């Protein structure tokens, strides 16, 4: 006999979107359950860099989730853009009335959210399989799953389902293909990222445009640094020895000032592809998409986690209004409200990506235009302000009752 559980909201995916949504609903007294196909160790061990927008930092602190972030995060006044061997500091704090660049890795945010969720007594089922969505066009949607590959099928009866399960998850695929309107760019370059045991080489992030390709210097802790170089996304990581990686990083990051990159043992490396993607159908019946299930941005603009949190902040308001008062306006307006911010973030991420990277498919004219854009950005206060405003985060309304 199938075991049936009843929850107002079923959440698929224990990434930033699903975890933040569960916390926001919990603060409104709305129960939910999270289903995650990976183990807790896999979820918490997936290393991802992260730059948090100022409003996300403020939200985490208001929700009581920011203690470790404030203790271990890295707070910078801006970033450095480097090209033609010269460095240009963008003072984002000065340009945006004190908003800072907060470097706190996504996996660290997830660890904090999981720990707080379990401490609150909330349910997260890790390692589930065979997740399927049913009846999403009805008032009684259901999720079926197995706790393990050989376990019996179980069912969760919900009022609503939140698909927070990423680009490859089942939620978006549950929406009929004829209904989904999807837009995508797959970039002809990717990032080779490393984690290295080394002290910081610089006090803030460096974004470097070089004739050999893009490079980025970031940080994870006082003893561990995160660095990236642009590569062919189809390249084999076996072709990249540590010595070759460091050689490229030195070539692409160093400038005419005599600044030098500090090396250290590399203990993790891998290549990631890059795409921009938007599914404009973020709601179908009682199913709502959020985070990477609905949109992907290249990491250059540092928007992925922040967009996921913005989605579920809107969704939590809409679900609360309906479940408490029967008000459907927020649910009906969910896609339009989210997509306005999403397309702005997509634009900024595309802008940063195309401006900073060497695209082998572009003409020399297009490449020169990108360099002219960089030159304009660092010499125009208006252009620097626009970049800073987008980077630290466009305004986001946080209702007081959702963040307590």
By annotation, the residues acting in catalysis are 76, 207, 299, 303, 391
CB 116 within 8 A of CB 242: no
Bridge partners (DSSP) listed for residue 75: 102
Which parts of 127-279 fold into alpha helices (H)? 170-174, 242-253
Could you tell me if 184 and 274 are in contact, meaning their C-beta atoms sit under 8 angstroms apart? no
Q: Which residues pair with 87 in a beta bridge?
A: 82
Reported as type and span, the H/E element at residue 277 is: strand 275-279
The token duo for 255 is 């400038």
What gap in Å lies between CA 272 and CA 291, rounded to an integer?
18
Q: CA 278 → CA 176, 287, 290, 291, distances in Å?
A: 16, 17, 11, 10
Pairing, β 123-125 against β 32-35 = parallel
Task: Name the residue among 225, 205, 298 with its Cα closest to residue 265.
Answer: 225
Which residue bears the tokens 């800073």?
A: 388
């Amino acid at each position: 006999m199938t075991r049936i559980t009843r929850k107002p909201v079923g959440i698929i995916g224990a990434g930033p979107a699903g975890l933040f949504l569960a916390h926001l609903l919990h603060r409104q007294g709305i129960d939910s359950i999270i289903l995650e196909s990976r183990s807790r160790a896999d979820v918490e061990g997936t290393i991802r860099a992260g730059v948090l927008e100022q409003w996300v930092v403020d939200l985490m602190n208001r929700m009581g989730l920011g203690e470790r972030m404030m203790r271990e995060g890295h707070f910078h006044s801006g970033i450095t853009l480097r090209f033609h061997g010269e460095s240009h500091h963008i003072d984002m704090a000065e340009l945006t009335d004190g908003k800072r660049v907060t470097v706190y890795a996504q996996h660290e945010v997830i660890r904090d959210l999981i720990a707080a969720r379990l401490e609150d007594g909330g349910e997260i089922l890790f390692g589930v399989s065979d997740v399927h969505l049913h009846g999403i066009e009805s008032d009684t949607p259901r999720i079926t799953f197995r706790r393990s590959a050989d376990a019996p099928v179980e069912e969760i009866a919900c009022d609503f389902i939140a698909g927070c399960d990423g680009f490859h998850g089942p939620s978006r695929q549950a929406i009929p293909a004829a209904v989904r309107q999807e837009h995508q760019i797959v970039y002809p370059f990717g990032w080779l990222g490393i984690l290295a045991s080394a002290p910081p080489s610089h006090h803030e992030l460096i974004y470097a445009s070089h004739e050999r390709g893009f490079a980025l210097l970031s940080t994870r802790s006082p003893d561990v640094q995160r660095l990236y170089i642009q590569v062919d996304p189809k390249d084999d990581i076996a072709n990249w020895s540590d010595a070759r990686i460091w050689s490229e990083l030195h070539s692409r990051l160093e400038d005419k000032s005599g600044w030098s990159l500090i090396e250290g043992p590399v203990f993790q490396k891998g290549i990631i592809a890059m795409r921009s993607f938007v599914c404009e159908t973020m709601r179908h019946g009682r199913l709502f998409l959020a985070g990477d299930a609905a949109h992907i941005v290249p990491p250059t603009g540092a928007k992925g986690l922040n967009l996921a949190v913005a989605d579920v902040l809107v969704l939590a308001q809409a679900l609360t209004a309906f479940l408490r008062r029967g008000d459907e306006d927020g649910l009906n307006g969910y896609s339009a409200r989210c997509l306005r911010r999403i397309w702005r973030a997509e634009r900024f991420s595309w802008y940063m990506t195309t401006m900073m990277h060497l695209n082998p498919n572009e003409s020399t004219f297009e490449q020169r235009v990108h360099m002219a854009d960089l030159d304009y950005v660092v010499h125009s206060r208006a252009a620097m302000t626009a970049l800073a405003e987008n980077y630290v985060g466009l305004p986001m309304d946080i209702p007081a009752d959702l963040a307590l």
